[in-house]
């Protein structure tokens, strides 16, 4: 069963330190293009997270977003930025030198100045395994969405294959009628000109016309391509690129059929074929 490249997955987990929320979205893309939006403290996980995505998905633009909201009763770790404190103290001493009887520098006042005390999220090492499990769960949801969408695309493509077979069968069955009509038109034209023509020569001309208008090979190739499309749809691996190639081949045969057409019904059938193939091609663009 084929898979779509469009999907969404989301996981929320409450940990002792805070709430994790992870979202994964994907749209169609020629290759697998995974991007990650991670908060500070989780960026070292990116390579491992990338591996989790690549293990399940083969194509698509996949955007992963992680947020971590620390609980209010879980205070952040703090530390003194000693370099910033030195600079602040030096500046205060410079100002104090310009003043008469300046008050002593108060350490508590220095600490309250911006940049001296920095808050840091607690290093979430113990949360890393939870994040990886959360991503695996979200990717599973994403893959399920893509599979459901793929099933709908599969059904649509199979239906369009039936339409192509019906159109091709109609053209094949009409071929003798088309040739008979051409023969009648040619005989009427000769009769209107009131000239005599050798029957052998007439048959030769009809044979040449029939050969130029013969679309049996194109119809046979259409049948072969449709069979290959169905075989491809039944494959277990990603088949989007192969289906895209087959759409090009189907369109090529439809174009040739239209160029060889000798009557309006065959021309209309060629146009209908191109419409159906284009509908298939649009859907194939989203197949993994």
Please identify which residue in the block is written with the tokens 């859907």.
283
Identify each DSSP E strand in the chain by its residue range: 7-14, 18-27, 32-37, 60-70, 77-80, 117-120
Could you give the CA distance from residue 255 to residue 249 in angstroms, rounded to a whole number?
10
pLDDT at 55: 94
pLDDT at 76: 58
Q: Can you give the length of the chain in residues?
A: 288
pLDDT at 254: 93
- Residue pair 239/232 in contact by the 8 Å Cβ criterion: yes
Contacts of 46 (CB under 8 A, 6+ apart): 36, 38
Secondary structure class of 57 (helix, strand, coil): coil
Could you give the CA distance from residue 156 to residue 146 in angstroms, rounded to a whole number?
15
Could you give the CA distance from residue 82 to residue 87 in angstroms, rounded to a whole number?
9
Q: What is the mean pLDDT of each run of 10 residues along the chain (288 residues)?
A: 94 88 95 93 92 95 92 64 84 85 82 72 74 95 96 96 95 82 70 68 66 78 95 92 96 90 85 96 95
pLDDT at 129: 92
pLDDT at 142: 96
The separation between CA 266 and the C-alpha centre of its own chain, rounded to angstroms, equals 35
pLDDT at 193: 65
Domains within the chain, CATH numbers bracketed = 7-73+125-145 (3.30.230.10), 77-120 (no CATH), 146-284 (1.20.140)
């Amino acid at each position: 069963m084929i898979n779509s490249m469009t999907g969404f997955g989301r996981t929320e987990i409450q940990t002792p330190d805070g709430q994790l929320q992870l979202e994964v979205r994907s749209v169609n893309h020629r290759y697998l293009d995974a991007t990650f939006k991670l908060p500070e403290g989780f960026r070292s996980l990116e390579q491992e997270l990338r591996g989790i995505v690549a293990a399940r998905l083969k194509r698509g633009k996949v955007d992963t977003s992680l947020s971590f909201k620390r609980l209010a009763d879980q205070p952040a770790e703090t530390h003194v930025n000693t370099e910033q404190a030195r600079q602040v103290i030096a500046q205060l001493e410079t100002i104090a030198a310009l003043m008469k009887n300046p008050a002593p520098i108060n350490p508590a006042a220095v600490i309250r100045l911006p940049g001296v005390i920095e808050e840091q999220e607690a290093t979430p090492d113990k949360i890393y395994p939870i994040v990886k499990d959360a991503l695996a769960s979200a990717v599973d949801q994403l893959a399920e969405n893509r599979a459901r969408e793929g099933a709908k695309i599969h059904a649509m493509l199979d239906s369009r294959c039936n339409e192509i077979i019906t159109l091709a069968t109609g053209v094949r069955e009409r071929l003798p009628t088309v040739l008979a009509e051409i023969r009648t038109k040619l005989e009427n034209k000769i009769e209107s000109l009131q000239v005599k023509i050798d029957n052998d020569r007439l048959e030769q001309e009809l044979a040449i016309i029939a050969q130029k208008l013969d679309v049996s090979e194109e119809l046979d190739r259409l049948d072969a391509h449709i069979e290959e499309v169905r075989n491809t749809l039944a494959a277990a691996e990603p088949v989007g690129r192969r289906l895209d190639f087959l759409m090009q081949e189907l369109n090529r045969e439809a174009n040739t059929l239209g160029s060889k057409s000798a009557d309006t019904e065959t021309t209309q059938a060629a146009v209908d074929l191109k419409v159906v193939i284009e509908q298939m091609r649009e859907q194939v663009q989203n197949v993994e």
